[in-house]
Structure 1
């Protein structure tokens, strides 16, 4: 319960990201690095993904690793921060971890954490690396807090969301493990974090190499930006750590995840923190201000 309380202080964190999958991960990586007053980023983990941008989970993870390397060359803040390759496949079963440098590093880093200074594991992709680490060393649930962008809002008709859907075994491991979890849903919550090319051009472009990179990435994500907006989902997790007032939340019982990707309530289960809204304007104002600074 103490670790589910909002961390009104600077925290230590690692960021687990499928960086090549979308354009929002890049925003989240840079937002985290531009928020040193609230978070100390210790490492980055490349997460697997499989869609039209990859030939399989391994390829998606490798592309995400390379994208993190690319961002590292743009941001002095990223400096010598280590980047670890994650899982090359999804969990083959509910009790079977997948070996990776990322999962091993998470176990080592978590177990070295003082009891009064938990490691925040910010996950904005498939939760495979984190679930594998928990299966490798279950004691890390006493040393970490997971902040995961996964699934849709609890009232949504289904929760067949990309991060959660890719690896149902990993999703269940995290939801069932009892690890202190902050769940940030996509549709119904983070889906309010929409912006446009004109706004990005006005407030992000020319904000140094990183700002130009984000602008070009946004510009190239569509061939027609007329009356077009895009969700930058993943900054919701960083916003939560920056200011709890921008991401109202409540304690709820950890939901059960069905085979057909639906939530169900079981009041006998442990509690998690559930983010149920976002202040879109405050979050983008903070991001744009930090990029300009």
Structure 2
């Protein structure tokens, strides 16, 4: 597969953290964990920074699903539930029912087709931000279906572990190796937000969620109950709300310090390797945990005053 090539100047410009209001879509395996729900809500609570245009259900397969198709369908229903609680009319689309069979064959879905349509309606001067917080199958499929969208989008992906971690067997990346490789190899402008070693700082507790989320309207109560029910015993426990890191990056670059680095290679053994001649990506290397949660809690409370 031959992908469009951006010049170094075009890539650096595209990878600058956004300054004004952007247009965005969010691709999410919403039923898989409890953090996706927080990210969907955070995006909708941030209209001053982003105009959300669509939500896409991503596939997943673990103890909560019987396979990628079932995981995607459950995520789609969970998305619809959250949008109803938020009284939002932003559309949601069903995504892929399977993972990519190889690195050059897309899996068509309503989500991938809609992403292609929205991206092709965008311009290089006003790119569509594609936020992915699950297996990146839908996004990789859209790129394979229409490679020209590489010139018109910026992908912000919570995927893999930090570059110094012993491996990168992280759930989002691990589920679909072919899609993950497509993203890092295609040259699409990419903001990579790692999990262990970076986003793992986004810990919170039931006490904090009870104090600042519970009672903040129907959606606040839903997020609280979701957090409450995720384990039987919360004594001395905290939990990472990984996915809000992507929305935090778009809200305020100071929340998520980052650098430009050559795109890594991804091996079949799920390890990063590096070549200084590769195209650049933006790599988030730290999270200011308190500022991110303060921003989320304030927006939730202001919305429900």
Once the two structures are superposed, what CA deviation does each residue of 1:230-280 show, in whole Å capped at 9, x if it has no partner?
000000000000100010000000000011000001111100000000000
Indicate the SS of the match to 2:254. helix
Residue correspondence of structure 1 range 7-26 to structure 2 within 5 A: 7-26=18-37
Indicate the SS of the match to 2:75. helix
**1:289 has 2:298 as partner:** yes
**1:184 has 2:186 as partner:** no
- State TM-score, norm by structure 2: 0.95
Residue in 2 aligned with 1:40? 51
Residue in 2 aligned with 1:113? 122
Match of 1:30 among 31, 41, 47: 41
Q: Residues of 1 paired with 2:83 and 2:111: CA distance? A: 17
Residue in 2 aligned with 1:161? 170
**1:68 has 2:79 as partner:** yes
Q: How many residues align?
A: 291
Indicate the SS of the match to 1:160. coil
Q: Which runs of 4+ in 1 moved over 3 A?
A: none
Residue in 2 aligned with 1:135? 144
Q: Residues of 2 paired with 1:184 and 1:255: CA distance? A: 13
Indicate the SS of the match to 1:2. helix
Q: Residues of 2 paired with 1:156 and 1:63: CA distance? A: 31
By how many angstroms is 1:73 displaced?
1.4
By how many angstroms is 1:115 displaced?
2.4
Residue correspondence of structure 1 range 121-270 to structure 2 within 5 A: 121-270=130-279
Once the two structures are superposed, what CA deviation does each residue of 1:90-110 show, in whole Å capped at 9, x if it has no partner?
000111000100000100100
Unaligned runs of 5+ in 2: 1-11
Q: Residues of 2 paired with 1:114 and 1:95: CA distance? A: 25
Root-mean-square deviation over aligned CA pairs? 0.5
Indicate the SS of the match to 2:41. helix
Q: Residues of 2 paired with 1:106 and 1:263: CA distance? A: 28
**1:279 has 2:300 as partner:** no
By how many angstroms is 1:114 displaced?
2.2
Q: Residues of 2 paired with 1:134 and 1:269: CA distance? A: 19
**1:50 has 2:61 as partner:** yes
**1:99 has 2:108 as partner:** yes
Once the two structures are superposed, what CA deviation does each residue of 1:141-174 show, in whole Å capped at 9, x if it has no partner?
0000000000000000000000000000000001
Unaligned runs of 5+ in 1: none
Once the two structures are superposed, what CA deviation does each residue of 1:189-230 show, in whole Å capped at 9, x if it has no partner?
000000000000000000000100000000000111100000
